[in-house]
């Protein structure tokens, strides 16, 4: 197994045409030498960023709770987003010490508060396991069997690696579908402590209203510190632990950046879908996303209406509304972005040319002649099943009562199987998290809303055409008019169920399928009845995945031939670099967004009411123009957020934004609304990401947080 310092180029790339050498791309580190960054303004050698033979900036970053974090001192100080630290801050809060509302500062190391459940992941090494994974694939294999075989093989590699590397955790990432797989080995630091968090009124300033928007005025940052055992090894929290000493820490630059400056970002972007066909995008654009937007919007409206008359309900429903809204707004942005950039037409045009290329050569025609049509057939099948399958999906997810009962029954079924054959969330290594999340969800159970959601789904199910029915529901619906039949079932079911009772659910999670099947709770019974149909749906999905796995592997081959160059894989939560410039944009006719916001803008948005309730102290400091050394002479104000045209997606939260000298100048936390299309393609006009400016981080920490010692620890002057 090769060390981080000896990466193999071939792992990560396939083929990229020179046209892709614009600002587009979430680049595997092994490929960044192709970008010629010095010619674009980079003032340091590329091997300062990434050096397979030594320590580089890459060693200064980590994954913290699904986000990216930066080590900003030799003593394990980590800078990431406030929204990434949210649950840790909440968990650490007590009634007396509400750190979420009031913010938190540890004056000394002894005051740092354990962030229980928070872990820091450091990449130790990785290697290509494509042949090991694909060795289980036989030509002509039934597609569902192909999927299952690959999934099982990956799980075996993971379990085997973890057994051989005690204390480490292994993961296999699919780089190109059905083509290449990489095994990563990670170290997890488990003693993570909260060091500084601004109050929510800064860290979440703008809240849901400003989410996915620009201009932004959110101080979305917090500081943690990672600790290890005195011998340097990862350890659970212990008072005797010592600060972790990272291989490298990043230099924070209070000089910041200005309009037009080069920036680059290191981070762990989650998932993109750029190497898919027009048929895929068409299905997403025309079917899946609109259906999801409609259903989420319907649920949000229900929850908001319920919250209006009942403050207790509003409090309970707030986290669910927030989650739904995030996707709701994201998908709407994608739909608008795809329309505005005419992305679908561009994809179709590209495929037309690819088809011409295939047809032009007898050999290619023989091998790939039916390829695009075959992929198209899979999406046609997906679409044909979508009305029923989306409803089944919503049914097992949206109403808590069904979700809890169904998860319990599915868990009982899955946990009968050998570990490697289970669905990932039911494997031993994930079971604790799956079950505790399920129990946690009960706290926000709200019967009237839950019942209205399930009723709506039953009424919709009644409209499914014959041949596409959900038979488990037909027995509920058979009694005449669907709404009345649903009401009659639901009134009784919600009155008699114990599915919202924590003790009851804890017990369910210990039961065998046959025990559950004998219970008389109405939702457990519904789950048992639904299971064969959901199970059949998942099998169908696996068959379609198996088909696509095989077909997309061919697609990558022919695309390489066609482009006559190499291209980089879709994002898959592995480490990437993206570069670009500080740059405004025109979201719509006659509206130009400037790329830097200011402290005055924070005060300008202040209304005194959430989410625009800036602390009085901040307003006072702004009034007095008490900017410290953090207001550049040209701006005469503290920069708060910056905008740039790099290529990011979810998972880039917390990523360090570097200037041309490789210094940290911002903490990435969002994209603009139109840039939600990054998942499908990068647009020079609309792809803009958002960071909190390091000068605002430092100003808030110093002037409001009185965290002078942290600035000193980072080597930043305070006047």
User: Minimal distance in Å, beta carbon 590 to a copy of itself?
Assistant: 4
Q: Which stretch binds a copy of itself (CB under 8 A): 110-118, 191-199, 477-485, 587-595?
A: 587-595
Nearer to a copy of itself, 214 or 426 (CB): 214
Q: Which one is catalytic: 56, 73, 93, 653?
A: 653
Q: Which is nearer to a copy of itself, 45 or 260 (CB)?
A: 260
Q: Judged by CB under 8 A, which stretch of 52-60, 83-91, 104-112, 210-218 contacts a copy of itself?
A: 210-218
> What Rg, from alpha-carbon coordinates, does the chain have?
26
Q: Is 495 annotated in the active site?
A: no
Which CB sits closer to a copy of itself, 308 or 397? 308
- Residue 535 in tokens: 């199970």
215 binds a copy of itself (CB under 8 A): yes
- Cβ–Cβ under 8 Å, residues 692 and 221: yes
CA 559/CA 552 separation, integer angstroms:
10
Choice between 353 and 625, CB closer to a copy of itself: 625
CA–chain centroid gap for 445, Å, is 25
Calculate ∠ Cα 433-438-444, nearest 5°. 130
Start-to-end CA span in the chain (Å):
49
- Residue 361, sorted as left (phi over 0), alpha (psi -120 to 50) or beta, turns out to be beta
Q: How far is the CB of 608 from a copy of itself (least distance, A)?
A: 12
Q: Which is nearer to a copy of itself, 136 or 593 (CB)?
A: 593
> Is 677 in contact with 334 (CB distance < 8 Å)?
yes
Minimum distance from residue 454 beta carbon to a copy of itself (Å): 23
Q: At its nearest, how many Å lie between a copy of itself and the CB of residue 589? A: 3
Nearest CA-CA partner of 680 in 281, 245, 163: 281
Residue 687 CB, nearest distance to a copy of itself (Å)?
18
By rule CB under 8 A, what string of x and - marks binding of each residue 534-573 to a copy of itself?
----------------------------------------
Q: Residue 105 to residues 150, 194, 196, 287, 452: CA-CA distances in angstroms?
A: 48, 8, 5, 48, 44
- CB count within 10 Å of CB 620 equals 11
Note whether 580 and 646 are within 8 A (CB).
yes
Find the binding residues for a copy of itself in span 589-618 (CB under 8 A). Answer: 589-598, 600-601, 604-605
What span, in angstroms and rounded, lies between the C-alpha atoms of 40 and 38?
A: 5
Candidates 647, 640, 642, 645; CA nearest to 581 is 645
Q: Which DSSP string corresponds to 462-488?
A: HTSPTTS--HHHHHHHTSSSHHHHHHH
Helices 311-340 and 289-309 cross at an angle (nearest 10°) of 150
Nearer Cβ to a copy of itself (222/597): 597
Residue choice 107, 322, 417, 588 for contact with a copy of itself (CB under 8 A)? 588
Size of the site for a copy of itself (CB under 8 A): 19
Residue 307: both structure tokens together:
């919250």
Q: If 0-12 CB within 10 Å is exposed, 13-18 middle and 19+ buried, where does residue 87 land?
A: middle
Residue 217 or 249: the one with the smaller Cβ distance to a copy of itself is 217
How big is the CA angle at 432 (ends 429 and 436), to the nearest 5 degrees?
A: 155
**Cα dihedral value 669, 672, 674, 677, nearest 10:** -10
- Closer residue to a copy of itself (CB): 240 or 590: 590
Which helix (H) or strand (E) segment is 18 a member of? none
Handedness of CA 366, 367, 370, 373 (dihedral sign): negative
Query: Should residue 333 be labelled a site residue for a copy of itself when binding is judged by CB under 8 A?
Result: no
**Is the Cβ–Cβ distance between 701 and 359 less than 8 Å?**
no
Position among 155, 190, 217, 695 found at the interface with a copy of itself (CB under 8 A): 217
Whether 176 contacts 553, CB under 8 Å: yes
Q: For a copy of itself, which is the closer residue by CB, 397 or 588?
A: 588
Q: Which is nearer to a copy of itself, 335 or 711 (CB)?
A: 335
Three-state SS string over 688-713 comes to: CEEEEEHHHHHHHHHHHCCCHHHHHH
Is the Cβ of residue 217 or residue 579 nearer to a copy of itself in the bound state? 217
Which of 193, 148, 171 is closest to 429 using CA atoms? Answer: 171
Q: Active site residue: 83, 249, 275, 606, which one?
A: 83
Rank residues 288 and 340 by Cβ distance to a copy of itself and give the closer one.
Answer: 340
Residue 61: beta bridge partners?
70
Q: Which of 59, 191, 220, 400 is catalytic?
A: 220
> What Cα–Cα distance (Å) separates residue 470 from each residue in 395, 654, 696?
11, 43, 54
In angstroms, give the least distance from the CB of 587 to a copy of itself: 10
Euclidean distance between CA atoms 342 and 256, whole angstroms: 36
Is 83 a residue of the active site? yes
Q: Judged by CB under 8 A, which stretch of 105-113, 212-220, 608-616, 669-677 contacts a copy of itself?
A: 212-220
Burial class (CB in 10 A: 0-12, 13-18, 19+), 698: buried
**Does 214 engage in binding with a copy of itself (CB under 8 A)?**
yes
What is the CB neighbour count within 10 angstroms for residue 117? 13
Region near a copy of itself per CB under 8 A, out of 1-9, 213-221, 248-256, 261-269: 213-221
Q: Which is nearer to a copy of itself, 358 or 642 (CB)?
A: 642
Site for a copy of itself in 383-412 (CB under 8 A): none
Per CB under 8 A, which region of 33-41, 211-219, 237-245, 553-561 contacts a copy of itself? 211-219
The encoded tokens of residue 607 equal 């209304």
What count of Cα atoms within 13 Å lies in the side-chain half-sphere of residue 519? 26
User: What is the closest distance, in whole angstroms, from the C-beta atom of residue 688 to a copy of itself in the complex?
Assistant: 12
Cβ of residue 351: shortest distance to a copy of itself, in angstroms? Answer: 23
Tell me the closest approach of the beta carbon of residue 217 to a copy of itself, in angstroms: 7
| 8 Å CB contact between 558 and 366 | no
Q: Which of the stretches 222-230, 473-481, 501-509, 582-590 binds a copy of itself when contact is defined by CB under 8 A? A: 582-590
Q: Does 13 bind a copy of itself (CB under 8 A)?
A: no
- 450 is a catalytic site residue: no
Is 340 a binder of a copy of itself (CB under 8 A)? yes
Residue 480: closest CA among 471, 489, 472: 489
Q: Is 619 in the site for a copy of itself (CB under 8 A)?
A: no
Interface residues with a copy of itself (CB under 8 A) are: 214-215, 217, 340, 588-598, 600-601, 604-605
- List residues with catalytic annotation: 83, 220, 653
């Amino acid at each position: 197994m090769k060390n981080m310092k000896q990466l193999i180029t071939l792992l990560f790339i396939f083929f990229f045409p020179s046209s892709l050498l614009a600002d587009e791309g979430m680049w595997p580190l092994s490929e960044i030498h192709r970008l010629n960054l010095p010619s674009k303004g980079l003032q340091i050698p590329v091997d300062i960023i990434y050096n397979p033979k030594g320590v580089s900036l890459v060693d200064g970053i980590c994954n913290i709770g699904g986000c990216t974090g930066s080590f900003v001192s030799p003593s394990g100080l980590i800078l990431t987003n406030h929204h990434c630290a949210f649950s840790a801050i909440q968990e650490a809060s007590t009634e007396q010490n509400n750190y979420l509302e009031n913010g938190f500062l540890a004056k000394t190391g002894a005051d740092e508060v354990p962030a229980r459940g928070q872990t820091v992941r450091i990449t130790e090494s990785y290697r290509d396991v494509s042949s090991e994974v694909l060795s289980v694939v036989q030509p002509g294999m039934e597609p569902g069997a192909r999927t299952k075989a690959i999934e099982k093989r990956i799980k075996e590699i993971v379990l085997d690696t973890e057994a051989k590397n005690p204390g480490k955790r292994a993961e296999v990432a699919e780089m190109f579908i059905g083509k290449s797989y990489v095994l990563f080995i990670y170290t997890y630091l488990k003693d993570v402590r909260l060091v500084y968090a601004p109050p929510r009124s800064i860290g979440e300033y703008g809240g849901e209203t400003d989410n996915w928007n620009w201009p932004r005025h959110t101080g979305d940052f917090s500081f943690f510190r990672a600790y290890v055992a005195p011998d340097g090894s990862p350890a659970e929290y212990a008072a005797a632990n010592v600060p972790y000493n990272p291989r490298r820490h990043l230099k924070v630059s209070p000089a910041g950046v200005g309009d037009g400056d080069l920036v680059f970002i290191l981070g762990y972007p989650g998932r993109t879908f750029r190497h898919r066909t027009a048929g895929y995008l068409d299905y997403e654009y025309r079917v899946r996303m609109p259906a999801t937007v409609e259903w989420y919007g319907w649920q949000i409206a229900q929850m908001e209406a319920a919250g209006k008359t009942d403050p207790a309900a509003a409090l309970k429903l707030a986290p669910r509304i927030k989650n739904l809204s995030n996707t709701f707004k994201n998908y709407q942005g994608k739909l608008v972005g795809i329309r505005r950039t005419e992305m679908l037409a561009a994809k179709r045009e590209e495929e037309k040319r690819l088809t011409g290329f295939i047809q032009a050569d007898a050999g290619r025609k023989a091998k790939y002649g039916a390829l695009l049509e075959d992929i198209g057939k899979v999406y046609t099948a997906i679409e044909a099943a979508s009305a029923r399958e989306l409803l089944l999906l919503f049914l097992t997810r949206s109403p808590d009562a069904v979700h809890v009962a169904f998860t319990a029954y599915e868990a009982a079924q899955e946990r009968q199987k050998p570990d490697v054959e289970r669905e990932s969330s039911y494997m031993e290594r994930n079971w604790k998290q799956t079950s505790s999340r399920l129990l946690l969800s009960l706290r926000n159970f709200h019967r009237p809303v839950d019942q209205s959601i399930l009723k709506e789904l039953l009424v919709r199910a009644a409209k499914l055409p014959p041949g596409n029915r959900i038979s488990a529901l037909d027995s509920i619906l058979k009694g005449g008019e669907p709404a009345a039949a649903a009401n009659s079932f639901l009134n009784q079911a919600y009155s008699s169920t114990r599915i919202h009772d924590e003790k009851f659910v804890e017990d369910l999670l210990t039961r065998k399928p046959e025990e559950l099947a004998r219970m008389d709770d109405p939702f457990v019974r519904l789950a048992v009845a639904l299971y064969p149909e959901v199970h059949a749906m998942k099998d169908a999905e696996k068959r379609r995945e198996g088909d696509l796995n095989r077909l997309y592997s061919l697609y990558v081959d022919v695309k390489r031939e066609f482009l006559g160059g190499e291209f980089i894989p879709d994002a898959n939560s592995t480490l990437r670099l993206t570069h670009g410039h500080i740059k405004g944009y025109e979201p719509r006719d006659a509206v130009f967004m400037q790329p830097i916001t200011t402290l005055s803008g924070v005060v300008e948005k202040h209304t005194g009411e959430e989410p625009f309730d800036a602390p009085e102290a901040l307003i006072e400091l702004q009034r007095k123009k008490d900017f410290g050394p953090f207001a550049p002479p040209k701006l005469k104000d503290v920069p708060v957020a910056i905008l740039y045209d790099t290529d990011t997606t979810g998972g880039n939260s917390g990523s360090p934004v570097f200037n041309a000298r490789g210094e940290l100048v911002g903490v990435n936390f969002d994209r603009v609304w139109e840039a939600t299309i990054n998942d499908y393609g990068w647009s020079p006009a609309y792809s803009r990401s958002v960071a909190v400016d390091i000068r605002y981080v430092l100003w808030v920490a110093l002037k409001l947080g009185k965290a002078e010692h942290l600035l000193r620890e980072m080597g930043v002057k305070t006047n």
